[in-house]
Amino acid sequence: MFGISFGELLLIGLIALLVLGPERLPGAARTAGLWIGRLKRSFNAIKTEVEREIGADEIRRQLHNEHIMALEKQIKESIVPPAASSATQESAPAPEAASEPAPVASPAAPAPSQAASGDPAPATPQAPIEPQQPSRIP
């Protein structure tokens, strides 16, 4: 784990035996083991807590993004039908005029395509405006 080889552990054990003596060495080893166990448990608890918080933040972010996507879909649906219906209304008179016999054009009467729309220039359908994508927070 820390890159300590068996030889280094043996050297640390010999130094501890010389410093502490044979009477106190087992108690010191037991105490060191308990402290190491407590540190591992506390690090694991902190790691678990952080992972749970990160998961909760991820879920919150995903729900927020889904809410934004639903709102965007509603906006698109509210924008698209009026544009689609106006496009069909503008293009609808043209097929009817083609299926009917052409009227005799008099010099004072406007052309049939101009008479149907009432405008001197033919109207072109406009594409719906696309909403901007919401920014994604990393």
- The answer to whether 116 and 93 are in contact (CB under 8 A) is yes
What pTM did the predictor assign?
0.38
Residue 79 Ramachandran class (φ > 0 left, ψ -120 to 50 alpha, else beta)? alpha
Q: What is the pLDDT of residue 59?
A: 83
Q: Is the pLDDT of residue 122 over 70?
A: no
Find out whether 97 and 113 touch, Cβ atoms under 8 Å.
yes
pLDDT at 46: 94
Residue 19, pLDDT score: 92
Please give the pLDDT value at position 64.
86
DSSP per-residue string spanning the chain: -----HHHHHHHHHHHHHHHHHHHHHHHHHHHHHHHHHHHHHHHHHHHHHHHHHHHHHHHHHHHHHHHHHHHHHHHHHHHHHHHHHHHHHHSHHHHHHHSPPPPPPSSSPPHHHHHH-SSS---PPPPPPPPPPPPP-
Each residue of 14-52: pLDDT tens digit?
Answer: 999 999 998 999 999 999 999 999 999 999 999 999 888
pLDDT confidence tier of residue 80, bands split at 50, 70 and 90: confident
